[in-house]
Structure 1
Amino acid sequence: MAEYYHLDVVERKRTRTAGARSLRREGRIPVNYYYHGEKNHNLSIDRKALYAALHSGNHVFEIGIDGSPHYVMIKEVQYHPVTDEIIHVDLMRVRRKEKMTIAVPVSFEGQAAGVKKGGVMIENLSHLEISCLPTEVPESIAIDITELEIGHALTAGDVTLPDNIELVTDPELTVVTVQAPKTHVEEEAPAAEEGEAPLAPEPEEDTETEE
């Protein structure tokens, strides 16, 4: 279960492009906070603190607005097309007692039996969509693949989830499979039948012309 990770945000009054650029020069990232039916808030967050949060493994974060705690998830991150630095973030509020749908990464545990026999493991899905309370979002979903043989696959419906988590991804979608290794077979010339002489090479045509 993910713990709440606190983010220090402050209200920002400079909302135009020039104001956003000025904030970024000061080491802060512009943030939009929103929730259906509520007033949007223009905020900013320290760049280093944001990067730390993104690499924390958490999905739900706590922020303070007007002296009250609010719980949010990072809905969208915008990057600079050249420098790849973060230039803007959208935060969406979540209710602690309302289920939310979120994509969570999968992690494979063990080595597949088919791989030990020379097979090749193919990872078809890297995330599964689930529905659960914000307080119960796992950092990842562990999938045991030790008994997966060559030619076999695990679907989303095969993954064991805790009772408090519902699968949203199509249960028929393949998550991981083990395929047989590719073999290269060289084509051989057909052998002559018994009592039959091997075919002689055809003579080359005389391309010279008489003068």
Structure 2
Amino acid sequence: MAVKLKANKREDLHKGTTRSIREAGRIPAVVYGNKKGNKTISVDSIELLKTVRDEGKNAIISLDVEGESVDVMLHDYQIEPLRDELVHADFYIVNMSQEMDVQVAIHLEGEAAGSKEGGVLQQPLYELSVRAKPADIPEQITIDISALNIGDSIMVSDLKEGRNYEILEDENTTIATVTAPDTAEEETTEEEETEPEIINERSTEEEE
């Protein structure tokens, strides 16, 4: 079920108007895609951030543009680095009956058995590329790693079947692995520093 977000039309694109929009706690945005013309809008920045935080970046948003609703996904956004503030957003209009390719976050659940024995858990892959209809896109893909022992790995091919999405990653890609601890201690080859024995040392004293 799509989460609702209200938006206002934005027809005056002058910098002064855009500045006023941001000062009012809103951000300028654009809606496009699915063979429809671009629309310039503004949305409440706090509401948008809350939506993404609660529903995930792949959430389907029912965008209410002054009474006209359209299903969208947050496609891109811009952050002002100095103030760390959201300043612009792009929404992509989705066709709920058509599959699309997205990146979905991987969440590792549990503590690996090998980690308890001193092994080191490594996660080379943090997102999976999947193909699904918008309503079937998962918020995240959770993988239980509690049975992983030292030397074990979870590959893309190990993920369970029966899902409503297609994984596009190579099946041989490693998602998580537990490696053995580095027990190779640096061998200190300290050579005993002894003064060399001087043989047949001549006396510095001369007999007179």
TM range, smaller chain: 0.7 to 0.9
RMSD over aligned Cα atoms: 2.4
Other structure's SS at 2:170 match: coil
**Residues 26 and 36 of structure 1: CA distance in aligned 2, closer, same or farther (over 3 Å):** same
- Look up the match of 1:165: 165
Paired residue total = 196
- Look up the match of 2:4: 6
Q: Which stretch of the first structure deviates more once superposed, 59-68 or 141-150? A: 59-68
Q: Deviations over 1:56-112 (max 9, x none)?
A: 124211113474431111111101121010000000011110111111111112221
- Look up the match of 1:46: 44
Tell whether 2:26 aligns with 1:32.
no
Alignment of structure 1 residues 16-165 onto 2, 5 Å: 16-58=14-56, 59-65=59-65, 67-165=67-165
Q: Separation in 2 of the partners of 1:184 and 1:41?
A: 61
Q: Which stretch of the first structure deviates more once superposed, 107-116 or 87-96? A: 107-116
Q: Separation in 2 of the partners of 1:203 and 1:84?
A: 70
Other structure's SS at 1:177 match: strand
Q: 2:13 aligns with which of 15, 31, 44?
A: 15
Q: Separation in 2 of the partners of 1:25 and 1:190?
A: 68
Other structure's SS at 1:50 match: helix
**Residues 120 and 137 of structure 1: CA distance in aligned 2, closer, same or farther (over 3 Å):** same
Q: Separation in 2 of the partners of 1:140 and 1:22?
A: 36
> What runs of 5+ residues in structure 2 fail to find an aligned partner?
199-208
Q: Separation in 2 of the partners of 1:161 and 1:126?
A: 20
**Residues 89 and 126 of structure 1: CA distance in aligned 2, closer, same or farther (over 3 Å):** same
Instruction: Tell me how far 1:30 sits from its aligned partner.
Output: 0.4
Instruction: Tell me how far 1:200 sits from its aligned partner.
Output: 5.9
Q: Separation in 2 of the partners of 1:32 and 1:130?
A: 25
> What runs of 5+ residues in structure 1 fail to find an aligned partner?
192-197, 205-211
Q: 2:196 aligns with which of 192, 202, 207?
A: 202
Contact kept? 2:106, 2:128, Cα under 8 Å: yes
Q: TM-score, normalised by structure 1?
A: 0.83
Instruction: Tell me how far 1:182 sits from its aligned partner.
Output: 1.3
Q: Separation in 1 of the partners of 2:52 and 2:25?
A: 16
**Residues 138 and 203 of structure 1: CA distance in aligned 2, closer, same or farther (over 3 Å):** same
Other structure's SS at 1:8 match: strand
